Structures are given as C-alpha cells and as structure tokens.
Amino acid sequence: MNRDLAFHSNGRLPAAPGDVPPGALPQVSRGRLAMQGNQLDFHGLLRIVREWRWLILAAAVLGLAGAIIVTMLTTPLYRSFVTLEVNPPQVQVLAKDDQQSQSYQNWDFIATQVGLLQSRAVAERTAQDLNLVANPAVVGTEGAVPERLARATSLVAGGLSVTMPEEGTLIRYSYTSADPQLAATIANGVADSFINAGLQRRFESSAYARQFLERQINKTRGDLEKSEQSLARYAQAEGIINLGGGSGQGGSGSPEAGNSLQGDSLAALNAALAQATARRVAAEGAYRAAAASGPGSAVTNSTQGLRNARATLEAEYSEKRASLQPEHPEMISLRQRIDELGQQIAREASQVSAGVNNTLGAEYRGAAAAERALQGRVNALKGQVLDLRGRSVRYGILQREVDTNRSLYDALLGRYKEIGVAGGIGTSPISIVDRAEPAGAPFKPNLPRNLMAGLALGLVGGLGAAIGLDLLRDTIRTREDMRSKLGLACIGQIPKRQTKGDFIEDLKDPGSVVSEAYSATAAALRFTTEHGAPRVMMVTSTSPAEGKSSSALSLAQNFARRGVNVLLIDADLRKPAFRAANDDIGLTKLLTNDEDLQAHVAPTQFDNLSLLPCGTLPPNPADLLATARFGMIIDEAMQHFQMVIIDSPPVMGLADAPLIAHACRNVVFVVESGRTRTRQAAEALNNLEASGAHLVGGLLTKANESDGNYSYYNYRYGELADKRERIALIPHHQDT
C-alpha cells in the first residue's frame, strides 16, 4: 500500500513513496503564502451588500428621516428673478480704405457690470432707496440707524445671486427671502439702484472733468490776457504799427516785412521813385531831342510849369498812396488836378508849338526834381525800416506767445463745450428687461430633492460603513475569500447547524445537511490526487473551536461508510477532543514505548472506523511529537488501515501542528466562516508549508451563504464543554 505524500510542482502525486524522501522538504508555494489584498470587485461588493443589507437599509431609512426632518425645519424661501440688458460701448475698428467699421462686444465691460451689481455699494444704496432701515420686519428696531443700515445692507447683499452670462448681454440675477413680496421688492430695488448708481458715476466723472477744464480755461485765459497786454505795451513803446492784424487771427504776427507803416511807405515810395525816374528819363530824352531840333520843339516854357505841377501832384499822389486808398476824396481830387494839368499841357502844346523846347526843358527839370525828392524820402525810410527790424524780434516773440495761448484757450473751450453736451445724464448702458414678480411657491425646501439626497447619502453612507466594517473585520467568509485571500482551494463548505441536537446523529443520517456537506467534501478529496484521496491526512485550523475535530470525525465517518478501513488519531496532546473508556491506551503511551499499535486502537460505534485516542496528557507534547517514533506510528497504522486521519492542535501559538504536518505531509485546513481572520490564517498556512506539508485544500465550516451572516460555536479551546462532540466507544472484549 502506498503512502500519499505531497504534490510535485506539476500538481501530480508521486508514483511511489520513495519519490520523496521522508526527511525532505518540498518546494514551498509562494502563491499560498502571499497575503492577498482586500480586492473589492463587483462580486465582492454584492456580497457586502447582501451581508450588510440591514445596515445599508437602516442608513437609507435614517437618510430619508433626516431629509424629512430637515425639510420640516427649513424655513421656506422664495426667489424672484430680474433680467438686465447691458449695452457695452461700441469700439469702431477701421477695416480698409472704404472706412467701413465693425464693432465687437466688450466682455470685460459685462464682467465689470456683474461685479458692480454684486458690490456692497449697490446693496447699501438699495437699502437706502427702499428705506429698509425703517422696516422693523427686516432689520428690527434695535441699534442706531448706522447699525440698522449695516444689517439691511448685509441682508440685501446676502440674498443676491448674480449669474455671469456665458454669451449675449443679458444679466440674470435673483434675490432670495422668506417673504415673496420682499424678495420681489428688493430685486427690483437692486435694479433701479444699480442703474441710478451708474448714472451718478457718469455725472460725477463728467462734473470732475468740467471742473478741471474750468480751472485750466481760467488759467489759460489769464495767460492770454497777460501776453496780449505785454505785446500791446511793447508795440506802443516801440512805435510799431502792425497793419496786418498780427493778433493770431490772420496776420503774420510780425511787422518787419510789409505789415508795418514804414514798410508799406517804403514800398510805395520805391514804386513812385521808379515812375519818377522813368518820367525824368523820358523828359530828358524829349528835351534833348527838342533842343536838338530847334525852336520847333513841342515843349515850351508855358507847358513846362504845367508839367512840373503835374509831376509834383503825381509825386504827392504816389506818396499819399502809402497811407490813403485811391477812393479817398483827397486822392480823387489829386487825380482830378493831375488830369486837368495834363489836359492843360496838351492844350498848351497844341497852341504853342513854338514854346515846346521851353516846356520840355521845364518838364525835364521838374521830373529830375521829383526824382531827387523821392530818392531822399526812400533813403530816409530805409533807415527806419532797418531800425524796425531790430525792434521787431521781441515783438515776434510776444506775438507767438499770444498765438500759442489763444490756440490753447480755443482748444480747452471747445473740449469744455463737448463735455457739457456729451456729459449730460442721457441714456444708461443698463436697461431692465424683466422685472421681478412675487414667487407663487417656495423653491426651498424641495421635498422630493431632499428625499433623493437623503436616500442617496444614506445609501452611500451605509455602503461605506458596510465596506469599512467588512474591511476591518477582514475574515474568511466564502469560498471566493479562501481562494482570493489565502490562495487555497476550497474542497468543501459545511453549513452552520440551524437546530440543536446531537452531531453524531446528524452524521448517522446521510440525508442531513451536515452529512451531505461532508460527503461532498470526501468526494472532493478523492480527486485531489491521481490515486484518489490521500491515505494520510491531517486536519487542523488556525485557532481553536473552528470545527477541525468535528471535520476530522465527519471525514473519517464518511470514508468508513464507503467501506474504507479508517483510523482516526487524536494527536491533540494538550486538549484532546475524543476520549476512550480505557485511559491506559492512547497515542501518548505509544510515543513513550514500542508497544504494538493495535493494542491502543479502540473501535467506535461507526463501522470501519477505529480511534487512537490521545491518552494521558503529557507535560511536553511538542517533544514527543518531534521524535521519530511518531512517524513510525503512522507507518505502522498504514499497514493495518487504508486511511489515517489525524486530528491535530491549532497552528497558531503551538509547535505541535507543524511537527505533525511534517510527518503526515497532507493537510486539510479548516477555516470557520466569518471568524477566522485573513492574516492569522495566512500565517498559519505559512507555518504549515514551511514544515514541508502539502495543503490538500481548505474546508469552510459554519457557513451560511443564504443571508451572508456567519456565526460560530461558543467553543473555547481548553474547556471540555458539553457542546464538544464525543464518540461513545465500544468496550474492549477480554479476548481481543
């Protein structure tokens, strides 16, 4: 008969016991030793919801109750809306040579208006315009007027909610209050106060500009008057007469060219001198020609006087043209006298042809005299003009100062007139589109929304609490937990007994739930190796009272019921679970001597099932189990029985279980559902695999997956309580 030892790396059983030496340790499976994290997937979440459904439902009900209470305690609030239209200033941008322009909306202007609408200044102006200070229902009657005004301002600002438009130029805002009429009144008051405040700001800004321009105009006017007075005094002192109107309004501003009296006279005298010179040359030529021709000359002495008189008058006429116009009566009289003299000369010339020479000579002498007189006047005026040019430099400086002050004064006066026209209180860039109306129903509290929010918060809080409690508890509850958290295959799940009764009776009844579960586990064990169920198995757990002893008995009974000769060894030398009628037999005796195994094996009430009890409790269980005698006892038991199942102590805190696992190699690990913590179970598996044991699989006991609630027996390790399952042994016969 073969003794099953452990899996190879490919999961197959060795063909013979010699494949694995008795003292060799198999390769430790790191996948089983690694602590698996608490993975919260969809199935895990469903399990948590199913397990903690009452907590989640209670949290949801609590959330609904809280929502109802909050709704009942919340003061009803009413909200009124106002819509404003903003007309930003248009900025014209020249596109092409055709002077076409396009406008764009100044979004910064709209954002500024939204900020101004929410300002405390508008709220305070609204409180003043609506006289909220005198309304006891709004601000009460306590405190002075400034204090009540501050409370009213805070009330207006606190209930105002402005929405920045994403597009367009419509600003929509609302005001919230417990009084619907008050909400509408304040909302409309805010709109009116906002518009009035904007107009007042525009008026104040234009008034400041006007005041500034008035000060500048007065100053400039004074400077202009001083410069004109300085110019007039200098012209009077220097005797400068500017005929061109050099006041900055059309004159050149300088008398040194042709705008002064001396300059104009010099120009006129130069012209008269040129004419006199021409006449003298003509008269001289005529005279010389007549003298050369003899007494028949047309120029006579009688005509010479007339010619001289005419030349004098012409000289006088030319001289007076500098100061008199041709239309002047004196100038007209001179012209008439000159014309008459000319006529007389003509008559005399025609009548007295004999006196031509005398006349021409007289004319020549008159022309020469007139030329000399004009030349003297021209030379005198040249000196005056040169002197005037020297004195006109200062005059030009003063004239330019007058012109500059006049230009500045005219510009300021024009700008002042523009501000006076454009700065008047005209249209406002803000207009009211929709005024506020009293709300017909409160918008807050909203019972359906509060109920939904309370239900959502309750469900989320309950689910969060359930997940938190589940993570804090961190126990093995399902087959999936055993696979995912421990990396251990689950070969069976034993339900928790729902009724009180004898556990032995449940095992005897093949139709009981517990018996069926262990039958399924025994069937699963038959497929753990290629040779069937392991011939030697150790049943252990992390801590006491997890159902390992009951599981060991149930598995042994199930295999025995199938005709397999099974030996159940109680290897818990500290707190044994099974007791025989004869205390002189047991495993402790066999470990201390070389007696035959059969002398210490006792039959049970189950067919094909024998028991090797613990016997007397030794003072040093670990030392006895560490000897080679324990392995020899297992080898001897395999010679007489087809299967050996060992009930061992728990793993945590004791060295007994790893020693037993090293000897028997195949281990069935029992986990109590809902009680065994993941970390402790993983450390127990680590200790078992470190001893060289092969973990056949895990057995989940006391499970209840119907409602997700798991419990455990009130079994305390170290107490031989009435709830511990016992086996009634058949007494020995004297002849056996």
Q: How far is CA 198 from CA 321, 404, 422, 430, 573, in A?
A: 69, 39, 16, 8, 98
pLDDT given at position 345: 79
Confidence class for position 5, pLDDT limits 50, 70, 90: very low
Peptide bond just before 445 cis, omega within 30 deg: yes
Place of tokens 């340790």: 25
pLDDT given at position 666: 92
Which of 622-626, 675-679, 703-707 shows the lowest mean pLDDT across its residues?
A: 703-707
In angstroms, the CA 230 to CA 402 distance is 9
Q: Which of 141-150, 354-363, 561-570 tops mean pLDDT?
A: 561-570
Does position 385 have pLDDT exceeding 80, yes or no?
no
Q: Where are the beta strands (DSSP E) in 243-380?
A: none
Q: E strand or H helix at 28, and its extent?
A: none
Confidence class for position 709, pLDDT limits 50, 70, 90: very low
- Helix axis angle for 329-351 and 356-422, nearest 10°, is 160
CA 589, 715, 681: angle at the middle one, nearest 5? 85
277 contact partners, CB below 8 Å, separation of at least 6: 371
For 340-367, how does the pLDDT look when each residue is reduced to its tens digit (9 = 90+)?
888 887 777 666 554 556 666 677 777 7
From the centroid of its chain, how far is CA 262?
84
How large is the average pLDDT for residues 321-336?
A: 80
115 vs 706, more confident: 115
Q: How far is CA 576 from CA 106, 221, 571, 587, 633, in A?
A: 92, 125, 7, 11, 18
588 vs 425, more confident: 588
pLDDT given at position 457: 93
In angstroms, the CA 509 to CA 518 distance is 12
CB 529 within 8 A of CB 4: yes
How large is the average pLDDT for residues 553-574?
A: 90
How large is the average pLDDT for residues 161-165?
A: 87
Burial of 187 (0-12, 13-18, 19+ CB in 10 A): buried
Does position 257 have pLDDT exceeding 50, yes or no?
no
CB 190 within 8 A of CB 176: no
Count the residues in the chain.
736
Residue 638 structure tokens = 């395999």
CATH superfamily of 17-36+505-703: P-loop containing nucleotide triphosphate hydrolases (3.40.50.300)
User: What is the amino acid identity at position 291?
Assistant: A
Confidence class for position 239, pLDDT limits 50, 70, 90: low
pLDDT given at position 157: 87
pLDDT given at position 288: 67
Does position 258 have pLDDT exceeding 60, yes or no?
no
Confidence class for position 597, pLDDT limits 50, 70, 90: confident
In angstroms, the CA 367 to CA 123 distance is 99
For 93-114, how does the pLDDT look when each residue is reduced to its tens digit (9 = 90+)?
444 444 444 344 567 888 888 8
From the centroid of its chain, how far is CA 70?
32
Does position 705 have pLDDT exceeding 90, yes or no?
no
Which SS3 state, helix, strand or coil, does residue 270 take?
helix
What sign results for the dihedral spanned by CA atoms 64, 68, 73, 77?
Answer: positive
How is the beta sheet containing 666-672 ordered, strand by strand?
Answer: 490-495, 694-703, 666-672, 536-541, 643-647, 566-570, 609-612, 602-603
pLDDT given at position 347: 73
User: What is the amino acid identity at position 205?
Assistant: S
Does position 123 have pLDDT exceeding 80, yes or no?
yes
CB 624 within 8 A of CB 656: no
CB 621 within 8 A of CB 656: yes
In angstroms, the CA 117 to CA 195 distance is 9
For 489-498, how does the pLDDT look when each residue is reduced to its tens digit (9 = 90+)?
898 888 887 6
pLDDT given at position 312: 84
Q: E strand or H helix at 670, and its extent?
A: strand 666-672
pLDDT given at position 3: 36
CB 382 within 8 A of CB 388: no
Please, where in the chain does CATH 3.40.50.300 lie? Answer: 17-36+505-703
Does position 244 have pLDDT exceeding 90, yes or no?
no
308 contact partners, CB below 8 Å, separation of at least 6: 362, 363, 365, 366, 369
Q: Please report, rounded to a whole number, the percentage of residues in the chain having pLDDT higher than 70.
A: 72
Average pLDDT taken over every residue of the chain: 75
Which SS3 state, helix, strand or coil, does residue 358 take?
helix
Which of 36-40, 65-69, 84-88, 493-497 shows the lowest mean pLDDT across its residues?
A: 36-40
In angstroms, the CA 367 to CA 360 distance is 10
DSSP state of 243: T
DSSP string covering 115-177, please? HHHTSHHHHHHHHHHTTGGG-HHHH-S-S-HHHHHHHHHHHHHHHEEEE--SSSSEEEEEEEE
**Bridge-based pairing state of the strands 666-672 and 694-703:** parallel
